[in-house]
């Protein structure tokens, strides 16, 4: 149940349309819905401001379709499905109006909302190979109501590429830096801007990159202040956090 629907219940109590006992019963039924294979947290939007997101990896098409249908029945306007393979997405599309973004492995049900954040979120990558993780971050942020600017392949091996887009990064409210190899892009950007920077290490790199561990440690050890770091390849987590920052109003 989202905030609007909860408010409607409270207003009905106030107007006398619903008794306190009836309202209590309705609210008690709402916290989660047991589908047998999943327990849907319908109160998450009320608690956190953002509805539950479906993690697609490891789920069957039938499970994803069932979860999506239950969310739609409860009035959820937009449903985000992460780590979704093309094969499962095509099966889900037979029963659900799903928009599938192959590069990011993301499925979206419903219309992406108009941006209502404070400013822009910039998503920058060290290289083209980092784009799948970056797109996961960018699409997540857009689905949560943010304007996103993409700056791809602006890594430190050719720093002039990043410096040519200084206007974009200086104008950002939050910046997500997605990089593999040694992950230096996050530190460089963190030293240039006055907004929060979120580092996303990726598994891109040769042997000593240790499947993203090298980039993770570089970002964690950044001497630039105002840098935070999410887990390896966690574009979704970065997009979610960036949206929370971009919607903080005093």
Contact 140, 106 (CB under 8 A): yes
Shared-domain flag, residues 80 and 132: no
Nearest by Cα to 240 from 111, 110, 127, 106: 106
Final residue belonging to a domain, choices 109, 140, 170:
109
- The larger pLDDT score, comparing residue 12 to residue 231, is at 231
172 with 215, same domain: the answer is yes
Same domain assignment for residues 226 and 128: yes
> Is 29 a residue whose pLDDT tops 70?
no
Torsion, Cα of 129, 131, 136, 142 (10° steps): 170
Residue 155 belongs to a domain: yes
More confident residue, 68 or 39: 68
| Residue 162 and residue 51 share a domain | no
Confidence band of 17 (pLDDT split at 50, 70, 90): confident
Whether 186 is in a domain gets the answer yes
Average pLDDT, integer, range 5-34: 67
pLDDT at residue 248, rounded to an integer: 87
- Verify that 102 and 132 share a domain, yes or no: no
User: pLDDT-derived band of residue 2, with 50, 70 and 90 as boundaries?
Assistant: low
Do 186 and 82 belong to one domain? Answer: no
Same domain, 129 and 232: yes
Q: Is the pLDDT of residue 69 over 60?
A: yes
Residue 212 lies in a domain: yes
- Give the angle subtended at the CA of 82 by the CAs of 133 and 180, to the nearest 5°: 15
Split into its structural domains, the chain has a count of 2
Looking at 84, 109, 134, the residue that finishes a domain is 109
Q: Are residues 73 and 99 in the same domain?
A: yes
Q: What is the pLDDT of residues 72-131, one digit of tens each?
A: 887 788 999 999 999 999 999 998 899 999 999 999 998 888 999 899 999 999 999 999
Q: 141 and 233: one domain?
A: yes
pLDDT at 65 > cutoff 80: yes
pLDDT of residue 40: 65
d(CA 203, CA 213): 8
- Asked if residue 25 is part of any domain, the answer here is no
**CATH code of the domain covering residue 179:** 3.40.50.1970
Domain that holds residue 190: 120-246
Identify the domain boundary among 88, 109, 130. 109
CB 84 within 8 A of CB 106: yes
Percent of the chain whose pLDDT exceeds 90: 64
> What digits encode the pLDDT tens for the residues 146-163?
999 999 999 888 999 999
Residue 36 lies in a domain: yes
Q: Do 178 and 85 belong together in one domain?
A: no
Structure confidence at residue 71 as a pLDDT band (50, 70, 90): confident
- Residue 139 and residue 74 in one domain: no
For residue 147, count CB atoms less than 10 angstroms from its CB and return exposed for 0-12, middle for 13-18, buried for 19 or more: middle
User: What phi and psi, each to the nearest 5 degrees, are found at residue 169?
Assistant: -75, -30
* Nearest CA-CA partner of 46 in 77, 81, 16, 7: 7
| Same-domain pairing of 127 and 55 | no
**Residue 1 falls inside a structural domain:** no
| Residues 209-218 pLDDT 10s | 999 999 999 9
Q: Which of 23-37, 63-77, 87-101 is the least confident region?
A: 23-37
Identify the pLDDT of residue 4: 61
Which residues lie below 8 Å from residue 169, measured CB to CB, with a gap of 6+?
A: 122, 124, 151, 162, 175, 189, 192, 193
Q: What is the rounded average pLDDT of the residues 194-220? A: 95
Is position 139 within any domain? Answer: yes
C-alpha 217/C-alpha 225 separation (Å) is 15
Asked if residue 16 belongs to a domain, the reply is no
């Amino acid at each position: 149940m989202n905030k609007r629907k909860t408010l409607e219940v409270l207003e009905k109590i106030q107007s006398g349309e619903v008794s306190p006992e009836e309202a209590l019963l309705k609210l008690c039924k709402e916290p989660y819905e047991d589908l047998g294979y999943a327990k849907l947290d319908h109160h998450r939007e009320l608690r956190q401001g953002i509805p539950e997101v479906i993690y697609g990896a490891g789920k069957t098409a039938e499970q994803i379709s069932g979860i999506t249908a239950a969310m739609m029945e409860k009035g959820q306007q937009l449903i985000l499905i992460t780590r979704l393979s093309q094969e499962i997405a095509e099966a889900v599309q037979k029963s659900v109006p799903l928009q599938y973004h192959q590069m990011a492995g993301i499925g979206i049900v419903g219309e992406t909302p108009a941006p209502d954040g404070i400013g822009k979120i910039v998503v920058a990558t060290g290289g083209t190979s980092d784009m799948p993780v970056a797109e996961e971050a960018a699409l997540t942020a857009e689905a949560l109501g943010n304007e996103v600017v993409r700056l791809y392949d602006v890594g430190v091996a050719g720093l002039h590429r990043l410096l040519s887009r200084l206007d974009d990064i200086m104008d950002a409210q939050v910046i997500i830096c997605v990089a593999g190899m040694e992950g230096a892009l996050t530190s460089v950007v963190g030293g240039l801007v006055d907004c929060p920077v979120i580092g996303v290490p990726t598994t891109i790199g040769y042997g000593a990159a240790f499947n993203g561990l090298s980039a993770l440690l570089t970002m964690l050890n950044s001497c630039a202040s105002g840098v935070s770091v999410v887990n390896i390849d966690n574009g979704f987590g970065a997009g979610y956090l960036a949206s929370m920052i971009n919607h903080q109003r005093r």
